[in-house]
């Protein structure tokens, strides 16, 4: 039986939905569409808008060396988080799911970095890796310039970012492992499977929805990385990232808003590819 809403109900629903839609359009879709439109201009924030088509994208590919360095670093960031940090987070979750002694302490210690922002992690990285007052050089007796050497600084910063990422992934997988039916593990044990076979052939396949979520989170973390490299050296000298280039061109001294918007659109397209994949998988699971 259908229910008829009173005028008061309609007013409350309209206010609630209207506010949410207005905020969404103002803070998300509005800037997104504006960036797409501005990416085809050479606007600097003061001059008149002048349409130049796809010239900004051509300049990015052929006449802006930091762009390809940033692309390379973003790919390295994604690979490091996806192939090293994420599997290690899963490994930690599997160990904690076995109810080890002091598992709560380990869980809290691994999760602690997650509550820190990447900017704070960047400041901690400076305390560890600084060539002048860093803990690493003081303990090992080395004189390596970990943050100033452009050939190695991206790697040490990725380790610092992975320190935070591991705890995040661990909590997500730990929640998924707690939801696995114990009867599946018992059936695998009865069939003669050892622990490794039981995990990879029985438990891990049931974590498929979690795997998709972790994949999307990892991609987003790799693409939006900004705080930690900006806190270290403003994202320069080997630490260039696409997000940093967007900031430098839009709000930096260059004030090339159209050019920076083109970089932002590239980031948007890459992100949307993974987000659409995630939503497609999610909807497929709902229809089953």
Q: 287 falls in which pLDDT band (50, 70, 90)?
A: low
Is pLDDT above 50 for 278? yes
Is pLDDT above 80 for 128? yes
Is pLDDT above 70 for 253? no
Tens-place pLDDT, residues 180-229: 888 887 787 787 778 888 888 888 888 888 888 898 889 888 888 888 99
Average pLDDT over residues 266-281: 80
Nearest in space to 169 (alpha carbons), one of 230, 252, 80: 80
pLDDT the model gives residue 86: 94
Residue 277 backbone class (left: φ over 0; alpha: ψ -120 to 50; beta: rest): alpha
Tens-place pLDDT, residues 18-70: 898 899 888 888 888 988 999 999 888 787 888 998 899 999 888 888 899 99
Is pLDDT above 90 for 1? no
Instruction: Tell me the sheet residues that pair with 41.
Output: 51
Is pLDDT above 60 for 242? yes
Q: How far apart are CA 83 and CA 85, in angstroms?
A: 6
Residue at token pair 């899963």 = 90
What lies within 8 Å, CB to CB, of 199 at 6+ separation is 94
Average pLDDT over residues 118-133: 89
Tens-place pLDDT, residues 145-155: 899 888 899 99
pLDDT the model gives residue 132: 85
Q: How far apart are CA 213 and CA 209, in angstroms?
A: 6
Instruction: Tell me the sheet residues that pair with 51.
Output: 41
Mean pLDDT, the chain, rounded, equals 86
Average pLDDT over residues 238-245: 90
DSSP 8-class letter at 199: I
H-only helix segments in 98-134: 103-111, 118-129
The answer to whether the beta carbons of residues 273 and 184 sit under 8 Å apart is: no
pLDDT the model gives residue 211: 87
Is pLDDT above 80 for 2? no
Average pLDDT over residues 276-286: 70
Tens-place pLDDT, residues 71-101: 999 999 999 999 999 999 999 999 888 877 8
Is pLDDT above 80 for 127? yes
């Amino acid at each position: 039986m259908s229910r008829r809403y009173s005028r008061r109900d309609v007013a409350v629903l309209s206010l609630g939905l209207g506010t949410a839609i207005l905020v969404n359009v103002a803070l998300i879709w509005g800037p997104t569409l504006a960036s797409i439109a501005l990416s085809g201009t050479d606007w600097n924030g003061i001059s008149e808008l002048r349409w130049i088509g796809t010239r900004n994208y051509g300049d990015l590919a052929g006449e802006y060396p930091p762009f390809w360095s940033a692309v390379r670093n973003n790919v390295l960031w994604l690979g490091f988080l996806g192939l090293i940090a994420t599997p290690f987070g899963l490994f930690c979750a599997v160990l904690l799911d076995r109810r080890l002694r002091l598992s709560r302490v380990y869980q809290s210690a691994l999760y602690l970095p997650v509550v820190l922002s990447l900017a704070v992690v960047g400041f901690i990285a400076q305390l560890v890796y600084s060539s002048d007052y860093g803990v690493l050089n003081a303990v090992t007796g080395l004189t390596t310039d970990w943050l100033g050497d452009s050939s190695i600084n991206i790697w040490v910063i990725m380790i610092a970012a992975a320190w935070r990422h591991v705890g995040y992934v661990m909590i997500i997988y730990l929640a998924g492992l707690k939801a696995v039916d114990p009867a599946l593990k018992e059936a695998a044990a009865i069939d003669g499977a050892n622990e490794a076979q039981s995990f990879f052939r029985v438990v891990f396949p049931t974590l498929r929805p979690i795997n998709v979520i972790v994949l999307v989170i990892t991609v987003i973390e790799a693409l939006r990385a900004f705080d930690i490299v900006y806190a270290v050296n403003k994202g320069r000298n080997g630490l260039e990232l696409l997000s940093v280039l967007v900031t430098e061109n839009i709000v930096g001294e260059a004030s090339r808003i159209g050019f920076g918007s083109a970089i932002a659109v590239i980031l948007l397209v890459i992100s949307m590819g993974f987000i659409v994949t995630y939503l497609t998988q999610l909807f497929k699971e709902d229809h089953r």
